[in-house]
């Protein structure tokens, strides 16, 4: 390797100047990379709270949102078997049919799902959304269907079906939790889903 001692003074100065320029380029490049990295992290940190996506469940059994309903157990009964009344409408726990009668398929249903079937879905950590619109509410149903489709795209266990007779238009249930609304509230609906989907409150939260 040629050293500065074997170069003429002019060549030595040129070599030192070249090394200095190379170091300067490397330094500038590292600074640019660092700035871009910090900027990227800042953008991500600002965007995350704004996403509002389905599926951002926290850890541990949730104590809300919604009203906590006392568990009525998880006894399996055969179709047609009489049982005591449920303690909420819709029900959030209690007597239900075993496989293969239940659980029902996840997704959108156009007809009422009997409690004895739907509860089995809740037992598996799923979420049920029901609606009651005697005078019609196509816009609300469309919004709810959109939420369910998005959730199913993320392989979340969620049901949507009509439920005649409920006091409010929209009711969400999970195992031992219930929340209802007079109108469509996307943020609160997603919050309920994210909080209770596959919740440890459910007896079999990761069953299909």
Helix 138-153 / helix 186-196 crossing angle, nearest 10 deg: 40
pLDDT given for residue 8 in this prediction: 74
Q: H or E element: which one contains 180?
A: strand 177-181
In whole angstroms, give the CA distance from residue 156 to residue 121: 12
Judged against a pLDDT cut of 70, whether residue 181 lies above it is answered with yes
The Cα-based distances of 154 to 86, 148, 208 in angstroms read 31, 10, 14
In whole angstroms, give the CA distance from residue 89 to residue 67: 12
pLDDT tens-digit series, residues 55-98: 555 556 788 899 999 999 999 999 999 999 999 999 999 999 99
Q: Which residue has the tokens 């269907």?
A: 145
pLDDT tens-digit series, residues 138-174: 999 999 999 999 999 999 999 999 999 999 999 999 9
Buried b (16+ CB within 10 A) or exposed e, 124-136: bbbbbbbbbeeee
Report pTM.
Answer: 0.72
pLDDT given for residue 61 in this prediction: 76
């Amino acid at each position: 390797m040629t050293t500065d001692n074997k170069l003429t003074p002019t060549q030595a100065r040129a070599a030192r100047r070249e090394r200095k320029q190379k170091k300067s380029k490397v330094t500038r490049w590292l600074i640019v990379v660092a700035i871009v990295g910090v900027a990227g992290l800042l953008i991500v940190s600002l965007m995350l709270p704004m996403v509002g996506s389905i599926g951002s469940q926290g850890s541990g059994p949730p104590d809300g949102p919604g009203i906590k309903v006392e568990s009525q157990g998880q006894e399996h009964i055969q179709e047609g078997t009489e049982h005591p009344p449920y303690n909420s409408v819709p029900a959030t726990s209690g007597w239900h049919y075993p496989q293969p009668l239940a659980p029902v398929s996840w997704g959108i249903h156009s007809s009422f799902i009997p409690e004895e079937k739907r509860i089995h879905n809740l037992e598996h950590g799923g979420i049920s959304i029901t609606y009651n619109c005697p005078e019609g509410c196509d816009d609300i149903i469309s919004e709810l269907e959109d939420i369910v489709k998005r959730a199913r795209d993320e392989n979340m266990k969620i049901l949507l079906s009509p439920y005649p007779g409920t006091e409010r238009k929209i009711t969400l249930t999970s195992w031992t939790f219930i929340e209802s609304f007079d109108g469509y509230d996307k943020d609160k609906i997603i919050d309920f889903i994210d909080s209770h989907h596959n919740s440890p409150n459910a007896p079999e939260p990761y069953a299909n």
